[in-house]
Structure 1
Amino acid sequence: MISTLHSRPGGADGDPAPRLAYGADYNPEQWPRDVWEEDVRLMREAGVNVVSVGIFSWARIQPAADQWDFGWLDEVMDLLHEGGIGVDLATATASPPPWLTTAHPEILPVTASGETLWPGARQHWRPTSPVFREHALRLVRAIASRYKDHPALVAWHVSNELGCHNVYDYSDDAARAFRGWLRARYGTLEALNHAWGTAFWSQRYSDWEQILPPRLAASHPNPTQQLDFKRFSSDALKDHLRAERDILREITPDVPVTTNFMVTPGTKGMNYADWAEEIDFVSNDHYVHPGPQDRDELSFSANLTSGIAGGRPWFLMEHSTSAVNWQPVNVAKRPGELARDSLLHVAHGADAVCFFQWRQSAAGAEKYHSAMVPHAGADSDLFRAVTGLGATLKTLAPVAGSEREPAKVGIVHDWESWWASEQDSHPTSLLDYRQEALDWYSALLRLGIRADLVTTRADLSRHQVLIAPVLHMVPADLAKDLTRYAEQGGHLITTYFSAVVDENDHVWLGGYPGALRDLLGLRIEEFGPLLAGDTVELDDATTGSVWTDRITVTDPQTQVLAHYRTGAQAGRPAVTRRETGGGSAAYVSTRLGVEGLTALLPRLLGPAGVESELPADIRGAVELTVRRGPDSRFLFLVNRTDSAVPVTGLAGEVLVGATAADGTLTLGPRDVAVLRQPTG
């Protein structure tokens, strides 16, 4: 459905589809009327062809319960259409207006400790509030009815970053909805009591009304209650998404609907793999977090967004042109990073590149957040970089509509394992699910090997190697699937604290990792987590941290690839691999970090015959991602370094990039090149 964006005229010159979409959140209500026409002129200069409008406009559109003001928005929509710019129109429900919270304070969220989250910021609403739902859907119907036939309308934008600040609400509304959700999940109190293990600590329930969200308690709340509340909270937001979407589809059945996910560090409350089927195309917001793996993480998140989208094109709804405003220190991007960051998303399947926001705010909480038009105005290096990117995206129009070409390696990302593995009262609080997955991804990047981030809902058999870091929660059906995968020729790699519990967070008994114990050919009686700062050495010269396991090999087919050389497990297996059928199953029992995994991975990938597709001299310096259309492959080559990198040995028409007289493709520092290869 993202192809709808490609069918509209592209920019002021009326270029036909296909094209890549380019734009930003546009907030004209922040500016006087005389700025609007200048905005459209500059958008055309920059190559902008789509903007998101109305995201935080509820108070302007509906200044009182019985008043509506669409005149300004009518004018904005008309101006954008005249400029050849499509509109991804928001439903404006993200931030309730003051008149609504004053009249109905019962819509405000409540924390686990009983504190009310008051107005003054944004997203101050309960996902389960029937009062909020009534007012929000009234607004959605009014906006959809007014603009259903407007020629600028290309897509609907439901709310904004659902759950960013209100994913967990512990109010009485939430308690009632939680009980309803539990009734639907379990059917009977007997089933719930079994799932929650309420025989422990005298928690057995005899009436549904006794059940509450996991509010502030004297000690660790029931683990399965916590897990179910996470599931419920994600579902409650998904239900709100559906409610808005259904009205939009009723009124405008031919206009695609999306909402912006936040596949980015620190956001884990929403199970986006579960949400993806509810919208017509996936959209994502991503912001770089400074650190040694910052661009690896960007690639990881873009890759995961593609996995959530099933490999189909998706929409980068927000990222930053330069500095953000909400990190402890907000560092500006260096020359070339605006384009590299943007094109890395395109490499992983984005058919739209958009920023927050078009014009940098002069007031408000985000006034120091960068934008396409900075405080310095159009006469600035930043706006020139924005305009340059617009020209590059126009050149890359043939890429639009192509899908990511599957890689031989898949890395499994599972939201419920993420939630469950990091709960309290566990062997360690130092475990970081996403970091472990990122370390494996970074190691593959260093080796120049493409990998796909996939969810457990995907067809796992399409990958020759499947890496499942900290796959903590493994229901019986998933255990069977993974066993079948290995027995039929796939090569599974998993890690510490995997396959330990079922879907109810009950431990698989008989020794860890219970659900995959026979497949791996090993047994663990007791975990050996490490104290902060402690490390252990392995006999393959790698170093482990965070975790160790006391492994006993139980199958003669299980090969020990590395032993612990130091620590409490000295002499015991640390890394194992068991052949089964035509495949294998390997286990890594400690956190090896990027360096250790880079050293280990060739041994684990060797049996599958997986090697880098890049020339040996640029592996690690260049990231390769491939998109495939009906008659072409598009090779994206991303320079991961701050130095120039010459590239030889790769054939194809150069769409983006510089070539020397001898035909050598040269990637400048932080540069991206794109090659087109004909197929079939």
Structure 2
Amino acid sequence: MRFDPRFQPNDLGLVSLDTIAYGGDYNPEQWPREIWEEDITLMHQAGVNLVSVGIWSWAKLEPCEGEFDFEWLDQLLDLLHEGGIRVDLATPTAAPPAWFYKKYPQARVVHRDGTVMTNGSRGMAAPSSPDYLRACANITRALAERYSNHPALAMWHVHNEYGAPVSDSYDEASRDAWRIWLRERYDTLDGLNEAWGTSFWGQTYYEWDEIPTPAVSATVTNPAMRLDYTRFSSDAVLRCFIQERDIIKEYSTAPVTTNFMALNCPSMDLWAWAQEVDVVSNDYYLEAADPRNQIKLSLDADLTRSIARGKPWILLEHSTSGVNWQDRNVAKKPLEMARNSLATLARGADGIMFFQWRAARFGAEKFHSAMLPHAGTDSRIFREVCDLGARLAELSEQGVTGTTVPADVAILWDWESLWAQGLEWRPSIDANARERILEFYTQLWEDKVTIDFAHPEQDLSRYKLVLAPASYLLTDAASENLKSYVAAGGVLAVSYFSGIVNENDTVRHGGLSVAVDEVLGLRIEEFLPLREHETVSISTTGALGEGQYTGTVWADDIVLNGAEPVATYVDGPKPDGAAITRNEFGQGSAWYISSRVMGGDLRNFVGALYEDAGVTARRDLPADFEVVERVSESGQRFTFLINHTVEQVDYTPRRSPSLIGDESAPSSSITVPAAEVVVVQE
């Protein structure tokens, strides 16, 4: 399944609610019936209006093949409806029952090293298994037939976190499906052999049934084969979703979604997946080990909004406090949960949901935080949950839902390029694509510059500045798209090891960076990766000002072909060689930076890009203070001021504001207390 640059998401309302969706996963099968009524009372107290139900209930709904027990779910949905709480009803196909694995052992997932996975945990069976697909279809049809007209139903939730923990399998059914996929992609073996470069190491195939899965082999497996198998695996899992979605659509008009993991499930091509859901939904959990983990939270939210093509989306899972599966599950500090939630809302979410409603007493996630923690209602967490519910209801009344997030800058993001660059035997293990994206994103985040993520083939014309921190793989269409963007007046900045291969992980005829040579006004004659801990000094001039940067990881032997050098290497493998360049191309300009720069050096470089592109930054405010806007079609603006610091911050708005919840707001300056969030309506 390919990214379609013409795709536009539909305009289905978010789960038929007129307010911000608020709630979480609800697993009442873990609790006696008397707890259910207590839960509904407490949900009202907390402001909950939506719960996800049935995600892990396959064994309870279908205790043996073809025999269903819906009595408990009937009672639950009726109780929730009577309580005024809507339901995001799941298909439970992320956890096949024990009877399934006993009857169909051939459906077990096989890892790349040949290990056969057993049950006793979560995770789907082999995605291409006909037995698994048939069983999924049966339980999905039974649910859709029974509940499509239930008044509590707001949305369908297919499966759970596709790709985690199962994204690929090397079983026999997957091997057979892989060969069919290859026939559809390449039509002929000649086409496949050419695309994969099988003349290298004598790998030419003369029959389709000679082609193996790229399981573990004696040394590095053909990288083009590995890349295609990742594509195949994403498509195979997507077909599982589409099967269930299409069955539901036979019976129901309610929106259908599944919960992505945009940043933390790298095996699914979510540009393609987003074209198949009615509403984009996402799960995100903080990395407790990262003291500034709010930056990745924002990155994940911006990425999810971009996958949704700017439409509002739903955060279907995050945590009220610590999780249970990291090495050190740090609890969130007071007010941190609200900051996390409102930062996600600021970046386009119209739903704020948690895992889970009531903390489990047993099982693998018994130490995972919840809206109703083990400590009960007389706890800080539950009080903060209630406070957040009230605040979200107030923001809903003011009209935040349905508004969108404007951005003047885009960062290129392509899962296929990330897959390809992550394979073995690249020039340097230190050339990490996600590291470069995160560093550029962090600088823009600190500068209060909101960004979209963009596929390299999509229309970029509305952006003043486009950054390509890690675009190792660029298709011909992407190459032409970037040239057209710059020629029409855009500003493009490309970092090292970009434009190197085509979609088959093949270096193009004519050089190492043919895809970007023309627009950059140069060519790369040779990569000059650095040793571990080695640095190079870079002398800057011109648009960057007189100064010196420190580079690590990478350098290039650059041959200029019209570009102006604005920085040169002082030492290292190419003394006096160009290190950073700027090229005027058509009505725009394209920059190239050939080494890994950090901190103040990256800040200076990005500042020059802002000036070139006419982007406005707010460097007068503390780095850990967020400013994000949501805007309605009529021009009403909601500015979210999120203070991650331990000091109050005074913010001067561009327009006359009013604070939501405070009619006496000052017009010239707004004080945001430490660790708190203020929303300004303009």
Kindly provide the CA deviation profile for residues 241-275 of structure 1, in whole angstroms up to 9, marking residues without a partner as x: 100000001111x210000000134x210000110
Q: CA deviation at 1:402?
A: 2.6
Alignment of 1:386-535 (within 5 A): 386-397=385-396, 398-535=398-535
CA distance in 2, matches of 1:284, 1:2: 18
Counterpart for residue 355 of structure 2: 356
Residue in structure 2 matching 1:604, options 601, 606, 609: 609
The 8 Å contact of residues 350 and 401 in structure 2, kept in 1 or not, is answered as yes
The 8 Å contact of residues 125 and 132 in structure 1, kept in 2 or not, is answered as yes
Residue in structure 2 matching 1:289, options 277, 287, 290: 287
Q: CA deviation at 1:653?
A: 2.1
CA distance in 1, matches of 2:37, 2:484: 61
CA distance in 1, matches of 2:664, 2:358: 35
Alignment of 1:171-182 (within 5 A): 171-182=171-182
Q: CA deviation at 1:206?
A: 0.2
Q: CA deviation at 1:620?
A: 2.7
CA distance in 1, matches of 2:403, 2:324: 33
Kindly provide the CA deviation profile for residues 105-136 of structure 1, in whole angstroms up to 9, marking residues without a partner as x: 11110011111011011114011000000011
Counterpart for residue 620 of structure 1: 623
**Corresponding position: 1:544 with 2:551:** yes
The 8 Å contact of residues 656 and 673 in structure 1, kept in 2 or not, is answered as no
Q: CA deviation at 1:393?
A: 0.3
* Secondary structure of 2:160 counterpart: coil
The 8 Å contact of residues 400 and 630 in structure 2, kept in 1 or not, is answered as no
CA distance in 2, matches of 1:152, 1:241: 23
**Corresponding position: 1:580 with 2:578:** no
The 1:46/1:478 distance shift into structure 2, 3 A limit, reads same
The 8 Å contact of residues 89 and 153 in structure 2, kept in 1 or not, is answered as yes
**Corresponding position: 1:676 with 2:674:** no
CA distance in 2, matches of 1:658, 1:554: 60
CA distance in 1, matches of 2:187, 2:666: 72
Q: Tell me the amino acid that sits aligned with residue 83 of structure 1.
A: G
Kindly provide the CA deviation profile for residues 396-442 of structure 1, in whole angstroms up to 9, marking residues without a partner as x: 10344434333111111111111111110110122221221111111
Alignment of 1:10-409 (within 5 A): 17=18, 19-252=19-252, 254-265=253-264, 267-290=265-288, 291-397=290-396, 398-409=398-409
TM-score with structure 1 length normalisation? Answer: 0.95
CA distance in 2, matches of 1:410, 1:368: 39
TM-score with structure 2 length normalisation? Answer: 0.94
* Secondary structure of 1:471 counterpart: coil
CA distance in 2, matches of 1:28, 1:660: 44
Q: Tell me the amino acid that sits aligned with residue 426 of structure 2.
A: H
CA distance in 1, matches of 2:278, 2:318: 21
The 8 Å contact of residues 492 and 584 in structure 1, kept in 2 or not, is answered as yes
Q: Tell me the amino acid that sits aligned with residue 279 of structure 2.
A: F
Q: CA deviation at 1:656?
A: 5.7
Counterpart for residue 654 of structure 1: 659
Q: CA deviation at 1:623?
A: 1.8
Q: CA deviation at 1:293?
A: 4.0
CA distance in 1, matches of 2:414, 2:662: 37
* Secondary structure of 1:287 counterpart: coil
Q: CA deviation at 1:621?
A: 4.0
**Corresponding position: 1:666 with 2:665:** no
The 8 Å contact of residues 428 and 529 in structure 1, kept in 2 or not, is answered as yes
The 1:55/1:660 distance shift into structure 2, 3 A limit, reads same
CA distance in 2, matches of 1:373, 1:559: 60
The 1:230/1:662 distance shift into structure 2, 3 A limit, reads closer
Kindly provide the CA deviation profile for residues 641-679 of structure 1, in whole angstroms up to 9, marking residues without a partner as x: 2221111234322126897778632212222221222xx
**Corresponding position: 1:634 with 2:638:** yes
Residues 648-657 or 43-52, more deviating: 648-657
The 1:228/1:441 distance shift into structure 2, 3 A limit, reads same
The 8 Å contact of residues 293 and 442 in structure 1, kept in 2 or not, is answered as no
Q: CA deviation at 1:458?
A: 3.3
The 8 Å contact of residues 271 and 415 in structure 1, kept in 2 or not, is answered as yes
Residues 290-299 or 206-215, more deviating: 290-299
The 1:304/1:653 distance shift into structure 2, 3 A limit, reads same
Q: CA deviation at 1:166?
A: 1.1
Q: Tell me the amino acid that sits aligned with residue 191 of structure 2.
A: A
Q: CA deviation at 1:468?
A: 1.1
Q: Which runs of 4+ in 1 moved over 3 A?
A: 1-8, 398-401, 656-664
CA distance in 2, matches of 1:510, 1:411: 27
CA distance in 2, matches of 1:510, 1:277: 36
Residues 442-451 or 55-64, more deviating: 442-451
Identity among equivalent positions (%) equals 43
The 8 Å contact of residues 658 and 665 in structure 2, kept in 1 or not, is answered as no
The 1:532/1:441 distance shift into structure 2, 3 A limit, reads same
The 8 Å contact of residues 487 and 583 in structure 1, kept in 2 or not, is answered as yes
The 8 Å contact of residues 402 and 627 in structure 1, kept in 2 or not, is answered as no
The 1:657/1:342 distance shift into structure 2, 3 A limit, reads farther
CA distance in 1, matches of 2:66, 2:561: 72
Q: CA deviation at 1:457?
A: 4.8
Residues 531-540 or 570-579, more deviating: 531-540
Q: How many residues are paired up?
A: 662
CA distance in 2, matches of 1:414, 1:135: 33
Where does structure 2 lack aligned partners over 5 or more consecutive residues?
A: 1-9, 540-546
Aligned residues: CA RMSD = 1.7
Kindly provide the CA deviation profile for residues 62-115 of structure 1, in whole angstroms up to 9, marking residues without a partner as x: 111142111111111011111111000001111000011111111110011111
Residue in structure 1 matching 2:594, options 577, 580, 589: 589
Q: CA deviation at 1:352?
A: 0.3
Residues 595-604 or 117-126, more deviating: 595-604
CA distance in 2, matches of 1:372, 1:511: 56
* Secondary structure of 2:620 counterpart: helix
CA distance in 2, matches of 1:664, 1:486: 39
* Secondary structure of 1:170 counterpart: coil
* Secondary structure of 2:548 counterpart: coil
The 1:298/1:451 distance shift into structure 2, 3 A limit, reads same
Residues 350-359 or 397-406, more deviating: 397-406
Kindly provide the CA deviation profile for residues 587-618 of structure 1, in whole angstroms up to 9, marking residues without a partner as x: 11112134432121111221211122x4x532
